[in-house]
Structures are given as C-alpha cells and as structure tokens.
Chain A
Amino acid sequence: MAEVPPNLPHPNQPGEPAPGPISAAAGNPETAAADQAAGGTTVDPAIAARATAPALEMRAISKRFPGVVANDHIDLSIRPGEIHALLGENGAGKSTLMNILYGLLSPDEGEILLDGAVVEISSPSDAIARGIGMVHQHFKLVPVFSVAENIVLGNETMANAVFLDVRRSEGRIRALSQQLGFEIDPEAMVGDLSVGIQQRIEILKALYRGAKVLILDEPTAVLTPQETSEIFLVLRRLAGEGTSIVFISHKLNEVLEIADRITVIRRGRVVGQADPKTATEESLAEMMVGREVSLVVDKGPASPGEAVLTVEDLTVADDRGSIVVAGASFGVRAGEIFGLAGVAGNGQEELVEAINGLRKVTSGRVVLGGHDVTNDSSRSLSERGVAYIPGDRQRFGLVLPYPIEDNLVLTEYYHAPFSRFGVINERAISKRASELISQYDIRTPSGGLPASTLSGGNQQKVIVAREFSRDLVLLVADQPTRGIDVGSIEFIHRQIVAKRDAGIAVLLVSAELDEVLELSDRIGIMYRGQLVAILDASTAEKETIGLIMATGRAEVPA
C-alpha cells in the first residue's frame, strides 16, 4: 500500500499549529476575540494555540483484535465548540475509536484527556458522567416508550426514591429542545416518529445528561436531504454554545460542508488532517484510500439496443402500507447501465424489490422483453434471465451457515443438473462450485466450509459468481460494493461493465453517487418515489444531480 505522502500535515501535537492560514473556529468567542485583538485574521500562533486548548484529546490510542489492528497509535484533538469530522472508509477504525471514547471498549495503549486531564473511561455510564455523549448509527431507542421515557432512561428524574417524576422530566425536555430550536412532544411514542426526529431525540438524550462532547456516528446515513440540512443547523447551534462535536462519516461532500476540521483515518492510522476550506473531495478521497483514486473506470461507450426492462407508472407500498413508489416510469436497454441515484429512503429499495418479484405492485406494469411480468414470482423472473444482487447480502443473498457450495446454487438448485425429480445431485453441485470458485477467485480452502468463514468481499463474489454465471438478459445490482475492500470493488465494477458490453441490460442502484456516475450510461434520479429526471451520464453534472436528489428539481426556484 502507498505511504503517507510527506507533504500532508502531521496530526496535531499540542502547541504546534497546522501550517497554512489559521481560521477561527466557527462561532468560538475566544478565538474571535483573539483574532480581533491581533487586528485581523492573521494571529500569532502561540496565542491562538493557548486560546483553543483541546476539550478532548486522544493520544496514541491503540486497540487490537484477533487478526487485525483496529487502531494504531491514533492521535485526535478536538477544540471546544468545534465540529470535527472523522473521515474514513468502512473498516478504517472510526467506530472502534469512538467505542473506546465512549467506554464500550478499553484501549490497549494510549490515553484520553478531557480538558487537559488524563481520564480513564470504564463504561458508558462513566463516559456520560464525564460529559461525553454518543449518537449511534443504529438508534438505541425503545419504540414502545415515549420520548420522555427514552430520554430519561438511566438518568431518571425522580419524585421520590421509587417513583418517576414524569412532569418534571417532560418540562425539562421541552425546555431543552426549544433551546436547540425545535419542538418535541415528550409524550409521543417513539416508534411512531420519523427517523429525523428520532435522531434529534438521540441528541437530546445526550444533552439531557450534560454532554459537552457529542459523538455522531454516520448521522446522515438515514436522513433525507431536508432532514440533513435541519440537523446541520442544530449542530451548528450546539457548537456555537460550546459543545464539541465529533462527526464520523465517509461522505465527502457533507464533511466538507459541516466540519471545521477533518481528521482522516485509514487502516487504523491517522493519515492526516485537512482543512475544509482548501480540501476537495478528490484530495480527501486520496487520503482515505491512499493512492490516486481514479473516480472514473475504464469503460468504452455504450451501444444500447432494444428496451429490455420497462417500468410503467409503478406504485408500490412499504411494509406499513404507505406508498413509497408513486408512479415511477423508466426503461433499461440492452447493453447499457442505467444507474438509479437518490438519497436512501426515496423508494429505491421497494422499487427494486417490486421489479424482482419480492414485493407486491399496487398498480402499474413491469415489462420484461415484451412480456408483462408484473407481480410474477422471483423464481419465474429468474428463469427469464433476471439476476438480482441484493443490497443486504448476508440477510438476503447468502445462507451463512450453509456450505459455500450450497450457496453457489441457491437460486438454481431445483432444476437439472443439480436436481432431478426432486432429488439433489450432490456431485453436480460440487463440480459447479469448484468451477465458480476458481473462475471468480473466491478465496477459501474448501467449498464445503460454511459461507460465514468468508470475508465480506469474497461473500459478495459468491453472489456475483452465482448470478453472473447464468444466461442473463437483465442484471439488477443493489449496492454491489457496500462495505467491500477497494480491490474487490474494482473487480466487481469490471464485471458489471463486462456484462454491459456483452449486451445485457444493467440496472444499478447505489447510494454512492460517485459509483453511479462512474458506471452508468444513463442516470435516473429518484425523489419521493418518482423518477424525477433521467439524464445522460456523459453530460450530466454532479452538482445538478445532487440538487435534483436533494430537492426534486433541477433549478432552485427563484
């Protein structure tokens, strides 16, 4: 792997300022005053360093698990009232570091300092008591409890030794939320509330306990664009009042938008720091991945043929019964890659499930090669040559306790040569398995081992091997490279392009806009359950697409 380029800034050491212009932390009165006292934006580095002593510091933190070094001498320094982004790929070690900070894990080496004093954080209660609050990626809220009950849990306001003081809790919650600029009904049941509001409840939970350092783990992963802007406002307000915020993410554009400083982690080590004012998505990506990342794959022009998949005015409901796909229409032609872009939660999952026969279509049509296949079973679609790579591969794509061999025939076991008259032919299965294992370079000592013994990338290769080795007319790939190491990502991308070049229609769904841009020939953008735009990938501009994803239209109304 490439070395850290020598000209990137080193991780902060106390008292040593980063090179380049010193920018005042947003809204921090101390530095602003220091700036003005010094007569402008150029400040004596020593004065600036004293004024911005870290609220939180992690020094040389190391943590090892069997077979992997999750954190390797990591240094992190957060100033009061700063929004500090922790950037890194999946598996880089961000969550481990934060779990250490929050007392869920203990470091093998290194120390943690709060306001300059060394502390030992032994448990989440300890962390909370010291003013560290965490908002997890998967919310820790009890759906059948009220907002108030969730917020006070573990830190209850008591009327006496035994009973809760419900009214006082609710009063405090109302006051706290108003301070942050939004209203909340403490009696509402959390399970009924939207994801964006639930996240605010999680933040309130931390603040209710007097958090001065707030850690947010991938907070925007589940939010709509609207909710993302709203939460950013809340975060700025919090920072303005002196709360330090650690913002963990792998989303480059958001990190550039919200952070005051950025620390980049790769494979357990701090790669360097970045200044959002000067960094670009490319420079951040390069730091994250460690070499020049060509965000463009080597691919020739498409020569699309007939329409293979046509979706006409499709309406689909989610598990609760609400309509999440509201009249989507588009088509995918043979020999082209149609990328479906959009913020998660705009109906893409349900649309893809409906196309593949795993969810009922309320109204509209799905046409495959001239045949109406609306609401056909997934098996009959599979027999027509449709392959589906599911987004949640461990839940839908594999049976982990089963041998790899069985997983490789999971969608084809029921016909010859793998079975005849209902009886399974084990030798045929083994034969096919060893062919596919060598063809797709699946790293395993034996095909008879359970699929759970494979790494994430190899598990995805099993699914790809299984689906790609059939005669296909349509390939539906949902988040094909989520959580996979970069080497495997390129492999899978190349496979997808190869299928396109072989004349197969490809429908690509991905939450990573860059992946969509890189691979697609045409891009459709989903917003609130509809295809609001279909663009030619070669001429589309990323900003336009982002705008449409966020707002549903190409121009901001005047």
Chain B
Amino acid sequence: MTESANPGAAGLNVDATTLLGGGSLGRQAIVTGIAIVLGLLIGAVLIVLSGVIGPAQSFDPTLPIAGYAALLEGALGGPKAIANTLNSATPLIFTGLSVAFGFRAGLFNIGANGQLLVGGFCAAIVGTSVALPFPLAAIVAILAGGLGGALWGFIPGALKAWRGAHEVVTTIMLNSIAFLLLNLLASSIFKDQGATFPRTPDVLPGSVLPIILVNTRLHAGILIALATTFVVWFLLFKTTLGFEIRTVGANASAARYAGMRPAFITILTMSLAGALAGLGGTVEILGITKNYPAEYIVNFGFDGIAVALLGRAHPFGVVGAALLFGVMRAGAGAMQRATDIPVDIISIVQAVILLFVAAQIIIQQLLPAARPKGPVEPSAAAA
C-alpha cells in the first residue's frame, strides 16, 4: 500500500481531511463561494440556451437575469415564499447532517434517502396510532422516526464493522430495498382503505407539526432542524464521543491504540446518521404530507450528499448549504412559471457547484489565496 500523508486512512474509506480539502475555514469559504458563482454562471449559459432551443426560440442574453430574479422572488419575496424556502431546506438540513456526520467518522453514507424513507414511514405509522394530545403524540412520532432511521443506518454499520462490507454499496442497495419494502407495506398492510392513491392513513392531529408562521405553510420542522444542528455540532466538537468519532475517521489505527473501539464507533455513527436522516423523513411526513404515500419518490438523500460536501461536513456549513439549495428549489417553480425555464436547471447548477467543490484544485490553481499551506518543516522527501 502506498503511504500517504495520513497513513491511518486507506482505501474507499473516506478520509475526511483530504476529502474536504486542507486549509483554514476562511480558505474553505472562498473555495465554496467561487464554486457557487461558477455554478450560477454555467446556469446562466444554460438559461440562454433554453431560450434558444425552447418553445420561445429566441436568443435573449438577459434571460438569466430575469430567471434568477424570478427565482429569488419565488424564494424570498414575501412570507409565503420564505416559508416555502425554509420548508424545502428542512429535510436537506437533516440529510446533510446525516451524511456529514458519517464523513466525520470516515464513512460514506449514501443511504440517507432510504433512512429518510424508513424514518418517515415509522413516524407515519406511529402518528396514526398514538392518540395523545399534541405535543406528546408528535414527540412519540418523532422518536419513532428517529429510531426507524437509526435501524436503517445500523444495518450497513454492522455489516461494515462485523463483515467488512463497504458501506457505499450496501447503503445504495438498502435505498432501493427501503423504497420497495415500504411501497409494499403502504400498499397492503398499512394501506388506508379509503384513500384515492395507495398510502398510509393520515396521522392524527396530535402528531401534526404546527404552523409557526401565520398564513403560510411553514411548519415547526425548521426549528427542530436548527436545534438538531446545534446538538450535532456540540456532540462532534465538544464531547469525548465526538472526539472519538472524528479520531476513528482520521486514523482508525491510532484510535484503537488510544483505547477507542472503531467497530463500536462505526456502528454507532451509522445508526446516528440514519437517525438524522430518519428525522428528515419524519418532519416531511408530519409537517407536509401527513401520511406516507406508497410511491414516495424524493431526492433528499442525494441532495444531502451535495449539501454535506458544500458545507464541508460541518453542521453550520450544512445549514448554509441547505438554505442555498432550499432557495433554489423553492424559487425554481416560480422561475419556470415566469420565464418557461425548466425547473431541472437547478439540479444542473447544483451538480456543477458540487463538481467544483470536489475538484477544488481547479479553483486553487486560479486563486493562490485558496491554496492550503504545506508542512512547516520539510518532511524527509528523500530516504
């Protein structure tokens, strides 16, 4: 095996340090900022293109301005728009935290989507059956959602710790298994007989997340998300458990030497990550859909990967990135209505931003200020 600057990290294990790039927080912010700008620029090019080849058949270089303006209007212009934005960002905060938490322990949690589904389903079922007043019922349902997601994170964690099965592939498999399994359950045993499409029954009123801004649809999920962010931050950076998680992610061999138990940490981290994603599904179910549809197709899990990376796997960064994505999602519909630009453009923009973040070397070549510092003393380059 080749030696690297960090001998404890190897193989497909995520080495959080090299993955997220070196350098101080300021440097990271510059890189991220430039990536966002570049993404928006390419989006602008595509917007002009859409004008040319779309139904309008016109070359309008000012279209991006109109488009982005409509996007911002749709996302931030007024309380209803802001509610929309925050609602869109909420599940992304949870899945972003989920993926970021995994990164810190050297794990690649691609299974946030499946964990989210399982969490949402459990919340839906419990929400239907627990006839307690609010907030007790909601709390119980939220706990159920967290536990459900934790279970779906425990499985790949255990497989990794006990059998060495790589979590990237197992979580991808579990995503599909979750969707199909829950599809089956929601269409059969747990099906709401009176519904027009296959879904679970509506949750009881005691479990529904209340609206926190009058005359909008903004539900309490955002508050839960922000509270969870703070808890995760504290856990990761201020507790001994967080220290152990980060150590296992940085150098599992040294962690063992120091008396930590990497296997236990792996399982615990994946379970917690699953719980976080499960909470994301929970707030979606309890706040928006009020039931679990059998054909519940969402992309929050994959967007969570982008959010985690953009946010440098730091809880506060995750919130920022989730808000950015929330703005784009919420505004895209308005943009399409106003300018006929297809909503999918924001997926392209997000992918491009992610690309530049992942390939930050490109940005670092352009901007020396963005480069990380090397070792203070030259290490022995020659033996």
A residues lining the B interface (CB < 8 Å)? 63, 65-68, 70-71, 90-91, 93-96, 358, 377-379, 382, 388, 390, 392, 394-402, 406, 410-411, 413-414, 419, 422-424, 443-445, 449, 452-456
Contact = CB atoms under 8 A, between A and B. Distances in A.
A424 B380 CA distance: 35
Interface string B217-246: 000000000000000000000111101000
A378 to B, nearest CB: 5
B17 interface: yes
Contacts of B251: 395, 398-401
Contact of A91 (B238, B239, B257, B380): B380
Contacts of A402: 247, 250
B6 interface: yes
Contacts of A90: 383
B257 A397 contact: yes
Interface of B: 5-8, 17, 238-241, 243, 247, 250-251, 253-259, 375-383
A90 to B, nearest CB: 6
A384 to B, nearest CB: 12
Nearest to A88: B383
Contacts of B17: 401
Given A358-B257, A382-B259, A445-B376, A91 B381 contact: no
Contacts of B379: 452, 455-456
Given A66-B381, A390-B257, A399-B8, 5 more contacts: A65-B378, A358-B257, A400-B250, A411-B259, A445-B376
A534 to B, nearest CB: 28
Contacts of B377: 67, 443, 453-455
Main secondary structure of the interface of B (DSSP, over half): loop
Nearest to A444: B376
B8 A377 contact: no
B254 A395 contact: yes
Nearest to B261: A377
B253 A395 contact: yes
B375 A424 contact: no
Contact of B376 (A410, A411, A453): A453
A55 to B, nearest CB: 25
Contacts of A65: 378, 381-382
Contacts of A423: 238-240
A452 B376 CA distance: 9
A423 B239 CA distance: 4
7 contacts: A68-B382, A71-B382, A93-B382, A395-B8, A399-B8, A400-B8, A452-B375
Given A395-B251, A399-B247, A453-B376, A422 B257 contact: no
A378 B257 contact: yes
Nearest to A94: B383
B253 A413 contact: no
B202 to A, nearest CB: 40
Contacts of A91: 380, 382-383
B256 A413 contact: no
Given A399-B254, A413-B243, A68 B383 contact: no
B379 to A, nearest CB: 7
Given A91-B382, A95-B382, A396-B254, A378 B259 contact: yes
